[in-house]
């Protein structure tokens, strides 16, 4: 009898215990959305308070709301995805928070009150963001988990940008892999805005796992799918796009994003006096080195036919709008390219090994090697002329935009535990193309 009640208590605690806590910026300034999962439909709250600033450190209790999500593929397994949006954040504060139902509480997480920033007075001071892609569970996911987990303790970055391919896969093993991965990264994604866009691994059932588990800024065109959106932060405008529509969706869906993207880039371009940096991130690559010693028909499609398709659709938009950096993933390696347009290196006012002053085309950085069960993709033994650095070490990058003129990016090897590459971009005008 005692054993039975113990089992029941443990089982219900497991159902009630909040898990998979993660946070993201919204379409409004001064807001943080908190998302978490329970396996029992119970109303729960976020309790939070400002710290390390002039506001009184009093706890506020904010009601969450949940939606039912069937994580199973062949089985019906319902999880309850809870969210709540904390508003009116003071950028000079940090915030502690915990989610729970007054019986079971999560651990206490901490985030910075500085959020995506859409209105005056604009805060265009230095920003630091982690950029990574293609991150899964298991032993190979641990390299980046360990290094980034340590870096997260130092609080030397503001947010994480995950460019698609999440968990390998969110829906695998009846959705269990998604749960395991979200719990695995909770100490990062619960403490920093964790901004995502979809990759090909999110495609099953029209990206349902992705759209339900990740809540990104909402706009009229994305209708809350989290597939594509943009935000302003520091001296930059960031655009998260969905390259997967070109491979999995209808012409109508493609057109919908494209119209939005054109308008978004044009608007950002007009705003360059305030935010001169324009950064675009999408899962699949437009540029990655192919081995030009093998016949074109045998070339890895990701850098061959698929890259060509995406270039035809997107490259001119990037170039004419003066995009500075295009981050991509999908390839399980790291490659940094020089400014390039139509397959030709475009000389800057000055180019060095690790520096471009007055660049005149986007630089493309492939960063799809956070680590996952599919392991590495070898780098090309014969890189293209525009390729500047290649590595297949598991790792991630850190983007620092210091001010209106200086951008610095460095790539870490999570295997060697060191920085393996860096690049400076220095502007001589707000945009090379406006």
Ligand X SMILES: *[C@@H]1O[C@H](CO)[C@@H](O)[C@H](O)[C@H]1NC(C)=O
User: Residues interacting with ligand X, by CB under 6 A?
Assistant: 206, 225, 253, 292, 308, 343, 384, 402-403, 405-406
Do 192 and 23 touch, CB atoms closer than 8 A? yes
CB atoms within 10 A of CB 267: 12
When the beta carbons of 206 and 259 are compared against ligand X, the nearer one is 206
Closest CA to 111 of 39, 35, 43, 45: 35
Do 34 and 201 touch, CB atoms closer than 8 A? no
In the complex, the smallest distance separating the C-beta of residue 252 from ligand X, rounded to whole angstroms, is 7
What's the CA gap between 236 and 128, in Å, rounded? 11
What's the CA gap between 265 and 320, in Å, rounded? 10
When the beta carbons of 55 and 249 are compared against ligand X, the nearer one is 249
In the complex, the smallest distance separating the C-beta of residue 276 from ligand X, rounded to whole angstroms, is 12
What's the CA gap between 426 and 6, in Å, rounded? 63
In the complex, the smallest distance separating the C-beta of residue 111 from ligand X, rounded to whole angstroms, is 25
When the beta carbons of 28 and 403 are compared against ligand X, the nearer one is 403
In the complex, the smallest distance separating the C-beta of residue 2 from ligand X, rounded to whole angstroms, is 51
What's the CA gap between 205 and 173, in Å, rounded? 15
What's the CA gap between 386 and 83, in Å, rounded? 44
In the complex, the smallest distance separating the C-beta of residue 224 from ligand X, rounded to whole angstroms, is 9
When the beta carbons of 10 and 125 are compared against ligand X, the nearer one is 125
When the beta carbons of 10 and 343 are compared against ligand X, the nearer one is 343
When the beta carbons of 271 and 292 are compared against ligand X, the nearer one is 292
In the complex, the smallest distance separating the C-beta of residue 138 from ligand X, rounded to whole angstroms, is 29
Closest CA to 28 of 231, 240, 283: 231
The CA-based diameter of the chain, rounded to the nearest angstrom, is 79
Do 303 and 289 touch, CB atoms closer than 8 A? yes
Q: Are strands 277-281 and 236-240 parallel, antiparallel or unpaired?
A: parallel
């Amino acid at each position: 009898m005692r054993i039975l009640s113990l089992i029941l208590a443990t089982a219900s605690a497991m159902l009630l215990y909040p898990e998979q806590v993660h946070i993201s910026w919204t379409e409004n300034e001064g807001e943080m959305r908190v998302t978490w999962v329970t396996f029992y439909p119970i109303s729960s709250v976020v309790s939070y308070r400002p710290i390390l600033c002039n506001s009184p450190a009093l706890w506020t209790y904010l009601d969450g709301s949940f939606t039912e999500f069937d994580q199973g593929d062949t089985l019906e397994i319902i999880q309850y995805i809870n969210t709540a949006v904390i508003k009116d954040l003071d950028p000079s504060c940090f915030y502690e928070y915990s989610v729970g139902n007054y019986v079971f509480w999560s651990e206490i997480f901490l985030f910075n009150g500085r959020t995506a920033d859409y209105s005056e007075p604009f805060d265009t001071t230095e920003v630091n963001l982690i950029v990574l892609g293609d991150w899964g569970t298991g032993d190979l996911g641990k390299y980046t988990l360990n290094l980034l987990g340590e870096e997260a303790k130092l609080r030397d970055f503001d947010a994480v940008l995950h460019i698609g391919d999440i968990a390998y896969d969110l829906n695998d093993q009846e959705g269990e892999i998604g749960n395991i991965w979200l719990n695995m990264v909770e100490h990062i994604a619960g403490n920093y805005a964790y901004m995502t866009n979809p990759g090909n691994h999110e495609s099953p059932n029209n990206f349902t796992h992705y759209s339900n588990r990740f809540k990104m800024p909402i706009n009229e065109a994305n209708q809350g799918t989290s597939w594509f959106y943009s935000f302003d932060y520091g001296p930059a405008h960031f655009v998260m796009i969905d390259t997967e529509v070109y491979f999995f969706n209808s012409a109508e869906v493609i057109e919908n994003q494209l119209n939005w993207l054109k308008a978004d880039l044009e608007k950002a371009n007009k705003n360059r006096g305030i935010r001169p940096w324009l950064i675009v991130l999408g899962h699949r690559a437009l540029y990655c080195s192919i081995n030009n010693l093998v016949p074109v028909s045998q070339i890895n499609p990701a850098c061959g036919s698929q890259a060509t398709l995406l270039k035809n659709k997107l490259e001119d938009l990037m170039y004419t709008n003066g995009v500075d950096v295009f981050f991509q993933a999908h390839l399980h390696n790291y490659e940094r390219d020089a400014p390039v347009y139509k397959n030709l290196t475009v000389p800057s006012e000055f180019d060095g090994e690790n520096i471009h002053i007055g660049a005149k085309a986007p630089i493309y950085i492939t960063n799809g090697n956070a680590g996952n069960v599919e392991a590495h993709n070898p780098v090309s033994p014969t890189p293209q002329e525009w390729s500047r650095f290649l590595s297949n070490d598991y790792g991630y990058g850190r983007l620092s935009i210091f001010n209106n003129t200086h951008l610095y990016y460095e790539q870490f090897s999570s295997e060697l535990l060191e920085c393996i590459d860096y690049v400076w971009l220095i502007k001589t005008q707000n945009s090379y193309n406006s």
